[in-house]
Amino acid sequence: MSRKAKPDVPQILEIGRRCVCFNVRKAARAVTQIYDNALRPAGLRATQFTLLAAIKILQPVTVAHLADATVTDRTTLGRNLKLLEKKGMIRILAGEDLRERNVYLTERGETAVAKGISLWQKAQSRLTEQLGREGTERLLADLALLVEAARRV
């Protein structure tokens, strides 16, 4: 038996082409940069903007519920919320059930969301123009299927 087999190189090349994880992460990196740049004038990252938007719809909302709605780990969400609180865009208050924390938008948060929406729209338009209308629809549908598939695994 030789010390080291080489025949797995072609197999590794396949990984780069076919690995769902690698390719979806790569896409996420590329896309995130576009939205982060676009949202900079509002002092928001893409993640923060979508989180604020979710809060605006759901408020008052608990951390766990928000984590569920945004499909984010609860502890991750807690840390992301702390950042928004530090920016003065949300308030986090104890609920009736003292274990729960209820999240609310502040005035500054409302302003940031409003500013963010128009910036988001521009970024979204620029990207979807490149994808085409059909391409965008197909992509979003496929991503939804992917999340579903991942849940079932």
Choose the one of DNA, a second copy, none that binds residue 135, judging by a C-beta under 5 to 8 angstroms depending on kind.
Answer: a second copy
148 binds DNA (CB under 7 A): no
φ, ψ (nearest 5 deg) of residue 132: 80, 160
Q: For residues 105 and 61, give the distance between their C-alpha atoms in angstroms, rounded to a whole number.
A: 10
Report if residue 41 touches a second copy, rule: CB under 8 A.
Answer: no
Binding of DNA at residue 126 (CB under 7 A)?
no
**Is residue 94 a contact residue for a second copy (CB under 8 A)?**
no
Question: Looking at 60-68, 69-77, 82-90, 94-102, which segment touches a second copy (CB under 8 A)?
Answer: 69-77
Residues of the shown chain interacting with DNA in the complex, contacts defined by CB under 7 A: 25, 29, 32-33, 36-37, 45-48, 62-65, 72-76, 78-81, 83, 92, 95-101
